[in-house]
Structure 1
Amino acid sequence: MFNDIGALELVTLIVLAVLVFGPEKLPKVIQDVTRTIRKIRDFSESAKQDIRQELGPEFKDFEFEDLNPKTFIRKQLDNDDLGLKEIRNGFDLKKEMAEVTDAVHGRDSDPSSSSSPASPGSTGGRVDMTKKPEPPAAGERPPFDMDAT
């Protein structure tokens, strides 16, 4: 319950409780707080049991932690019924981006050419965003509208 409270914070809370409630009333306050926490836990567990009973036998393995989206996604990714790991491992973003870049620049996107050394002036499949595109030669149409980009 208190996994994220450090030692210094715990000592500070104890000193603050002694100062606020006093050493005489502190044991009674601690009993009241623990009793209240126990009642809240019991109420929560009974509510969970009621919900499980109302949902029926199809949801007997239902865990309320699965309602957290991160937990649900993590559980579904671990369960490889849909082949998600194969899809995720088969998708190479760098390769796809290199192919798109090559297509935009009009270069051959043959996989054997990607292993060859880069041509002079090329950045190894990367686009240099600091360089402005060169204007087309006279009479040649630009590949895109310079004013629109």
Structure 2
Amino acid sequence: MFENLNWWEIGALLLLALLIFGERLPKVIGDGMRMLRGLRAMAQNATSDLNKELGTDLQLQDLHPKAFIRKHILSEEEEDALRKPLQGLFDDVKNDLNGVKSDLSEVAAAADIKNSGTSTPGSAVQKRPAAQSFDLDAT
């Protein structure tokens, strides 16, 4: 919920809440938590009532439209047939990235070997490896 906020923003929000609510802040937090627990209990009761009426073990994740279609319309063979091209594409991308990683590690190792002989331990500036030329039209 707060993954887009950094610590400074969260601190500013807490300080703002303290300034607005003052001494009532613990009561407001308690009321909010009580409301959240009530909403969770209502959702759980609705799910259990729906399970009793339908006679199945229904999960909330199953009500997502994609999951519902996948579960009730597609057979396992059809689902595997849909996933097979995507799995092949994923494997190709993974192999390409592993190749790039190994190329970069080779370049870094070569640069370390090249720089180890020319630099002194006390020097703050180290030489960078020469930039590799590449074709702009290919990227």
TM-score under structure 2 normalisation? 0.47
Larger radius of gyration: 1
Considering fraction of residues, name the structure with more helix: 2
TM-score under structure 1 normalisation? 0.44
Identify the structure with bigger relative contact order (alpha carbons < 8 Å, sequence gap 6+): 1
